[in-house]
Amino acid sequence: ELILAVETSCDETSAAVVRGGKRILSNIVSSQIDTHRRFGGVVPEIASRKHAESITAIMEQALAEAGVSFRDLSAIAVTQGPGLVGALLVGIVAAKSLAMALGLPLIGTHHIAGHIYANELVHELVYPCLALVASGGHTELVLLESEGRFRIIGRTRDDAVGEAYDKVARTLKFPYPGGPHVDRLAQGADDEIPLPRAWLEPDSYDFSFSGLKSAVLAAINTAAMKGEPIREAALARGFQTSVIDVLTTKAVRAVREFGAKQLLLCGGVAANGGLRAALAARCEEAGIPLLVPPLQLCTDNAAMIGAAAHLKYARGEFTPLDMKAEPGLSLEDWSVVS
Ligand code: ATP
Ligand code: MG
Ligand code: FE
């Protein structure tokens, strides 16, 4: 089984060839970050146009690098949502045309299922397991009772972690995307300004990061107004400590409550050095096996879409050729049927 997977949900144009949902034969990722940086964030119209310019060449490159031809493929997978509707559409049109021309099944795939199943490309999942999804648009605790069945037990009520990082970074005048800059600043800090943690109700697995973000922005603005030096590193450290404390505490508590056999860290924020280290330490202490994909599989890429699509391919659950982009596609609804 060879799946050609396509991902264009945001600002990465990517195509990959994945065998059996496990083995990456190629994974081409073309980032548009340089284009969007001067606007301080992703501009949807520009993202769509850039995807349209490069998608064909990226798909051809993915096949060439994998050393396979169109005839060898078993199915075409594409991110159906969530994401920017115009950006998703470009990948969907490309995938549909190929599926139609080649007479192959089409598999509309959930982007977050992709982030989660990126782990399957390097590890062996054991069920039930729990995924901590921390990305630019999502912060969720997802319980997988069995393969391909997703249950969201907690989610952010306001900002996603990556979004909070990017907003703090922006106020500190770092270029987009700012998460890695704040991470670096925090890790190099000599001291720390303590900031609040939003635990919400005692039994809740939900998250909230907007209060914390506002506390950082207020501290920066107050210092600026008073003409005092802004203790950027100490603030970044306080912000990061607070984020990590809440994420790791809730994840470990959920693993225990639901009897999960593994904890999976996924999404772009999984690249955060402080988060990886803290989670590793807490899991070690609690005897929980922790799975983290390598960095290039944490951020958006098509191989992870191929890994998730395999769940549906194996069950013969295909998507009609008239499928549409679904910017608000539900992860739970995307669960496998059989
Ligand atoms: P989603 O997957 O929710 O649709 P997305 O695809 O835009 O959103 P990802 O590509 O998974 O998100 O992750 C990008 C986010 O990860 C950005 O917000 C970025 O700032 C953040 N990020 C990347 N590296 C780090 C880091 N080292 N520390 C903190 N945040 C980081
Ligand atoms: Mg991105
Ligand atoms: Fe993503």
Distance 227 CA to ligand 3 centre (A): 39
Flag the least confident range among 39-48, 61-70, 234-243, 253-262. 39-48
| DSSP structure class, residue 70 | G
Counting ligands in written order, the one closest to the CA of 268 is 1
pLDDT range class, residue 34, cuts 50, 70, 90: confident
Name the phi and psi angles at 104, rounded to 5.
-105, 155
Q: How far is the CA of 269 from the centre of ligand 1 (A)?
A: 5
CA distance 22 to 25: 10
Kindly state the DSSP code that residue 103 receives in the 8-state scheme. T
Kindly tell me if the per-residue pLDDT of 318 is higher than 90. yes
Contact assessment for residue 154 and residue 200, using Cβ atoms and an 8 Å cutoff: no
Its sign, for the CA torsion 90, 157, 308, 105, is: negative
Residues 6 or more apart in contact with residue 18 via CB below 8 angstroms: 2, 3, 5, 24, 25, 121, 303, 306, 307, 309, 310
Question: In this model, does residue 88 exceed pLDDT 90?
Answer: yes
183 lines ligand 1 (CB under 6 A): yes
Helix (H, G, I), strand (E, B) or coil at 32: coil
272 CB within 6 A, ligand 1: yes
Ligand 2 centroid, distance to 226 Cα (angstroms)? 36
pLDDT of residue 74: 98
Q: Which atom of ligand 1 is nearest to the CA of 112?
A: 2
From the CA of 42, give the closest atom in ligand 1. 7
Q: What whole-number distance in Å separates Cα of residue 269 and Cα of residue 134? A: 5
Q: Which is the closest atom of ligand 1 to the Cα of 162? A: 18
Out of 4-8, 220-224, 312-316, least confident range? 220-224
CA of 141 to the centre of ligand 3 (A): 15
Write down the mean pLDDT value for the chain.
Answer: 96
3-state secondary structure of 9: coil
DSSP single-letter state for residue 309? H
Tell which wins on pLDDT, 123 or 38: 123
Query: Which residue's CA is minimally distant from atom 29 of ligand 1?
Result: 179
pLDDT of residue 305: 98
**Can you tell me the mean pLDDT for 257-268?**
97
The answer, yes or no, to whether residue 41 has pLDDT greater than 90, is no
Q: In sequence order, which residues have a C-beta less than 8 Å from that of residue 158 and are 6 or more positions away?
A: 208, 209, 210
Question: What is the per-residue pLDDT for 38?
Answer: 86
Percentage of the chain beyond pLDDT 70 is 100
Average pLDDT over residues 302-311: 98
pLDDT in tens, 125-178: 999 999 999 999 999 999 999 999 999 999 999 999 999 999 999 999 999 889
pLDDT for res 304: 98
Q: What is the pLDDT of residues 170-223, one digit of tens each?
A: 999 999 889 999 999 999 999 999 999 999 999 999 999 999 999 999 999 999
| Residue 177 CB neighbours (<10 A) | 23
Report pLDDT for 240: 97
Position 245 pLDDT exceeds 90: yes
293 lines ligand 1 (CB under 6 A): no
Question: For residues 125 and 308, what is the distance between their CA atoms, to the nearest angstrom?
Answer: 13
pLDDT at 306: 98
Residue type for 329, please? L
Q: What would the mean pLDDT of 112-119 be, rounded to a whole number?
A: 98
* Interatomic CA distance for residues 260 and 126, integer angstroms: 9
